Amino acid sequence: MMIHRRTALLGLAASWTLGRSSLAFAGSPGGPDDPRFVVIILRGALDGLSAVTPYGDADLRTHRRDLVLPEPGQEGGLLDLGGFYGLHPSLQTLHRLYGEGQMLPIHAVAGHYRSRSHFEAQDYLESGADDRLSSGWLNRAVSVLQGKTNRPDGYGLAMGLTVPLLLRGSAKVGSYAPAGSQHPDEDLYNQIVALNASDPITGPAFRNGLKARGFSDADMTDMKTPAATGKPHKIDAFTQLSTAAGQMLATSHGPRIAALEIGGWDTHAAQLGRLGSPLAQLDRGIGALRESLGESWKRTVVLALTEFGRTVRMNGTGGTDHGTGTVTFLAGGAVAGGKVGGTWPGLRPSQLFENRDLAPTTDLRAVAAGVLCDHLHLPPQALPTVFPGPKTNPLKGLIVSA
């Protein structure tokens, strides 16, 4: 695959995007044995209850019967995670990793903020604070970690059109972008066509323009079934980015930290049909990371996180609205996996946050801090710099002891 250096073009603060997925990186002192860390931002709010379904909770079906997949063992059913939780069937690779003790979902997590606005919450998530900062927690961690080394691309590396806030800041961050393909994905085009449908000038122009680009009429008019579902992917952008990220992280003096992102999680309607595609993308991406990291996978932690969860109850359009608690995933050879982490808060109405959302029981910052301290050996006294504001207690036991 072609990897185009954009460092010269965009300056050091840039990254790598294809469609709605993108990737960013950052670097470390030693050599091939350095720990590797990949953060995947799931933009748009992943429904944790669909990704890791607590099928053993008796209250689940009362809230969202039509959104719950069959129990493990049945056709199209969940992939079992030890008898209470089941993994969405699109997450085959993650399930395999779970079996190998290399995947750890943590349930009922949320950031420290309680915003239900995507834009605010993503900013807080990436800032690592309850305010919108101009730098991201991963960049501040890189500043602490990179120490004396002087890598050509920095300790960190952003891949995509822009560096996500997560990796922005004073630490030098490298950046890569693939050629071309820098335009919105099919789903967004569909929304744009719908937005213009009744306009005598722009309506036909958008419809005909997309037709000329090879989108079918059905894709553009039927908003209920976005084109992503069930169709083979022409180019899975996220897999490409993951492969490139893995290759760069694997090089002996390459960057050591990378950030990627995927969109498509904002399932306000027809969630059952829509969620499979982004989950499968995530799954393939993590598979690609494992493959391209090769030997270095042993020393890798991948953290996939999202800005907030979704409502426990199904809404009126077969979807879910913005919520609070959700699931986060850790995967990699260095992860102490094979179990589901976190404390299950229960789903009885009185147990829900504001009688609508999964109540958060684990601070997402504590998960990130646990990885930074135990895997990347960030000195604990640096934590207030990385996560300012209320004290963060790093979660223990996320990493296999060497």
Partner 1 sequence: MRFVSAINRFGWGQRDSKASDMPLREWLSQQLNEPDAAIFWNVGSSPDGLIALREQRKTKMQGDPLVKPIFQAEVTTQLDNLLVTDQPFRERLAWFWFNHFTVSLRQGGTRAVIGAYMREAIRPHVTGRFSDMLLAVMRHPAMLMYLDNTSSIGPTSPAGRKSHHGLNENLARECLELHTVSPASGYTQTDVTSFAAVLTGWSIDMKAEQPGFVFREKAHEPGEKTVMGQTFPEGEDGGIQALHFLGTHPATYRHIATQMVGHFISDTPSPQDITHIASVLRDSDGDLREASLALADLHDTNRSGSKFRSPMDYATAVMRALSLGGEPSQPDDPHSPPHQLYAAFASLGQPLWTAPLPNGWSDTAADWSAPADMLARTDWAWRMAAHVRAGDPMEIAHIALGPALRPQTQLAMHHAGSRQDALALLFSSPEFQRR
Between 198 and 350, whose beta carbon lies closer to partner 1?
198
Pick the closer one to partner 1 by CB: 321 or 357: 321
Selected from 3, 69, 188, 336, the binder of partner 1 by CB under 8 A is 188
At its nearest, how many Å lie between partner 1 and the CB of residue 338?
31
Which of 169, 254, 264, 394 is the binder for partner 1 (CB under 8 A)? 264
Among 63, 107, 112, 168, binds partner 1 (CB under 8 A): 168
User: What's the closest the beta carbon of residue 275 comes to partner 1, in angstroms?
Assistant: 13
Residue 199 or 222 having the CB closest to partner 1: 199
Q: Tell me if 43 contacts partner 1 by CB under 8 A.
A: yes
Q: Which residue's CB is nearer to partner 1, number 158 or number 340?
A: 158
Interface pick for partner 1 out of 73, 82, 184, 379 (rule CB under 8 A): 184
Greatest Cα-to-Cα distance within the chain, rounded to the nearest angstrom: 65
Residue 163 makes CB contacts below 8 A (sequence gap 6+) with: 13, 14, 15, 24, 173, 175
183 belongs to the binding site for partner 1 (CB under 8 A): yes
How far apart, in whole angstroms, are the C-alpha atoms of residue 348 and residue 40? 31
Which position among 12, 39, 45, 359 is part of the footprint of partner 1 (CB under 8 A)? 45
The verdict on 118 binding partner 1 (CB under 8 A) reads yes
Note whether 247 and 288 are within 8 A (CB): no
Taking CB under 8 A as the criterion, which residues in 194-233 touch partner 1?
A: 194-196, 199, 201-210, 212-213
Write phi, then psi, for 367 (nearest 5 degrees): -65, -50
CB of 118 to partner 1, least distance (A): 6
Least separation in angstroms between residue 269's CB and partner 1 is 9
| 120 binds partner 1 per the rule CB under 8 A | yes
**What is the dihedral angle through the alpha carbons of 351, 355, 356, 361, rounded to the nearest 10 degrees?**
-30
What distance in Å separates the CA atoms of residue 257 and residue 142, rounded to the nearest whole number? 8
299 token code pair? 């020393």
Among 34, 123, 357, 374, binds partner 1 (CB under 8 A): 123
Q: Which is nearer to partner 1, 86 or 319 (CB)?
A: 319
d(CA 173, CA 258): 10
Segment holding 305, helix H or strand E: strand 300-306
Tokens at 335, concatenated: 């992860």
User: Which region among 94-102, 192-200, 236-244, 369-377 touches partner 1 (by CB under 8 A)?
Assistant: 192-200
Contact 86, 55 (CB under 8 A): yes
- Distance (Å, whole) CA 95 – CA 294: 19
Residue 53 Cβ vs partner 1, minimum distance, rounded to whole Å? 21
Secondary structure in 3-state letters for 308-338? CCEECCCCCCCCCCECCCEEEEEECCCECCC
CA–CA dist 168, 317 (Å, integer) = 37
CA gyration radius for the chain? 20
- Residue 96 vs residues 36, 101, 252, 345, 368: alpha-carbon distances, Å: 21, 9, 28, 27, 23
Report the SS3 class of residue 164: coil
| Of 173, 210, 158, the residue nearest 17 (C-alpha) | 158
Q: Which stretch binds partner 1 (CB under 8 A): 101-109, 161-169, 228-236, 383-391?
A: 161-169
Give yes or no for a contact between 42 and 304, defined as CB atoms under 8 angstroms apart. Answer: yes
Q: Position of tokens 């085959």?
A: 92
Task: Give the shortest CB-337-to-partner 1 separation in angstroms.
Answer: 28
Among residues 206 and 238, whose Cβ is nearest to partner 1?
A: 206
Stretch that binds partner 1, among 64-72, 185-193, 291-299, 345-353 (CB under 8 A): 185-193
The contact set with partner 1 (CB under 8 A) reads: 10-11, 17, 20, 43-45, 117-120, 122-123, 132, 134, 161-162, 165, 168, 182-184, 188-189, 191-192, 194-196, 199, 201-210, 212-213, 263-266, 268
